[in-house]
Amino acid sequence: MVTMSDVAKAAGVSRATASYALRGDPRIIPKTAERVLKVAKELQYTTNLSAKSLRSGKSGIIGVAIFELDKPYPSEMAAALSKEASHNDFQAIIQQTANSKESEISILQKVTSQLCDGTIFSPGKVTSEEIQELSGGKPIVLLDDTARKLSFDTVFTPCEDGAYAAVKHLLACGCKDILIIGANPLALTDASKYRSVSARRLAGCKKAFSEEAMEFPESNIIDTPDWSTLAARSTIHDIVSQGRHFDGLFCMTDSMGLGALRGLKDLGISVPNEVQVIGFDGINEGEFSVPSLTTIEVDMADLAKKAIQLLTARIDDPTTPDTAVSATANFRLVQRESTKIR
């Protein structure tokens, strides 16, 4: 392995000078700097990340910790974050928290707080207080923090506005009997769940209904074991076999929307003629399903941009005040075949 000492020796300068030259410090005169750079290139020198990080506390790496990397939405998010990090001269490393608190903790304290200049974290089971402790003071940006009081910079998905637009759209399509799939009705009243993604989306729904002076009974909110495609499909089977009637479905995620579409197809119920369906997220697959899925498409590039911007601001200036800042990603309603304006 070729070290900086090797480069310095070969260029006939001290290690200090080589270090400065390599990092383009203006105090080294161009002639010297040029020579060092040339030698470094010839020797194929690369700076040792561990040493750099140990000494300076900076690595140029941003950590992204995400739940369930094998699902479309989180993986598209990871990809967008990774791309945006590159644009800002950072390298993103992505880690899967895999729905285990233990793993979240381990990632946070072993890798993230040690190696990364900052972390973008999608919190699962770990609390804000724990994150605070484990982060070792390194900047953190949360994705959809559900805490009552924000203690970290956070980027939110446009839950309220998106859900509002979704329900409004279903109403505009003539739906009279709308079911919300994948939310817990308790989220509306249970204070501890108040800021959850579910609750925020339900709040948006509520607003849309009340504007139309329509009822929004709790029984129209159908909970599911999880947000998987499979769960959505079975849920549709269940509620139809229970004789439940409905003509519009707002699914909490596109993955669930796809499952609902499939469940309806299993039962021979026509979309959008008998039932209209809208999802949330804007995953790529929704464009190609049969029928294609109308959705609230989160502007992922915008989300990534806002998250990285918040994070790099703290990395570049660690003296930024402690008050947590938040941003909300843009979205747009993408109408496809699963709904029809009448």
Partner DNA sequence: TTGAAAGCGTTACCAA
Partner DNA sequence: TTGGTAACGCTTTCAA
In the bound state with its own copies, the residue whose beta carbon lies nearer, of 117 and 160, is 117
Q: What does the alpha-carbon distance between residue 276 and residue 287 come to, in Å, rounded to a whole number?
A: 16
Tell me which amino acid residue 34 is. E
Give CA 56 to chain center in angstroms.
29
31-60 residues near DNA, rule: CB under 7 A: 31-33, 45-48, 51-52, 54-56
Residues 6+ apart with CB under 8 A from 339: 169, 170, 173, 272, 276, 277, 278, 294
In the bound state with its own copies, the residue whose beta carbon lies nearer, of 161 and 285, is 285
Does residue number 69 form part of the binding site for its own copies (CB under 8 A)? Answer: yes
Dihedral, 175, 181, 187, 193 alpha carbons, nearest 10 = -130
Over the window 140 to 169, marking each residue x when it contacts its own copies by CB under 8 A and - when it does not, the resulting string is: ------------------------------
**147: nearest Cα among 198, 197, 195, 187:** 195
Tell me which amino acid residue 12 is. G
Over the window 262 to 301, marking each residue x when it contacts its own copies by CB under 8 A and - when it does not, the resulting string is: x--x------------------xx-xxxx-x---------
Q: Which of DNA, its own copies, none sits in contact with 19, Cβ below 5 to 8 A by type? A: DNA
Q: Check residue 301 and give left, alpha or beta (phi > 0: left; psi -120 to 50: alpha).
A: alpha
7-36 residues near DNA, rule: CB under 7 A: 12-17, 19-20, 22-23, 27-29, 31-33
Question: Could you write out the DSSP letters of every residue in 181-198?
Answer: ES--GGGGT-GGGTTSHH
223-242 residues near its own copies, rule: CB under 8 A: 229-230, 233
In the bound state with DNA, the residue whose beta carbon lies nearer, of 118 and 279, is 118
Q: Which of 5, 14, 46, 127 binds its own copies (CB under 8 A)?
A: 46
Q: Kindly report the number of other CB atoms within 10 A of residue 323's CB atom.
A: 8
Over the window 171 to 210, marking each residue x when it contacts its own copies by CB under 8 A and - when it does not, the resulting string is: ----------------------------------------
Q: Kindly report the number of other CB atoms within 10 A of residue 134's CB atom.
A: 20
Whether 229 contacts 235, CB under 8 Å: no
Residues that bind its own copies (CB under 8 A): 1, 44, 46, 48-51, 53-54, 59-61, 68-72, 75-76, 78-80, 82-83, 86, 91-96, 98, 103, 106-107, 109-111, 113-115, 133, 136, 229-230, 233, 258-259, 261-262, 265, 284-285, 287-290, 292
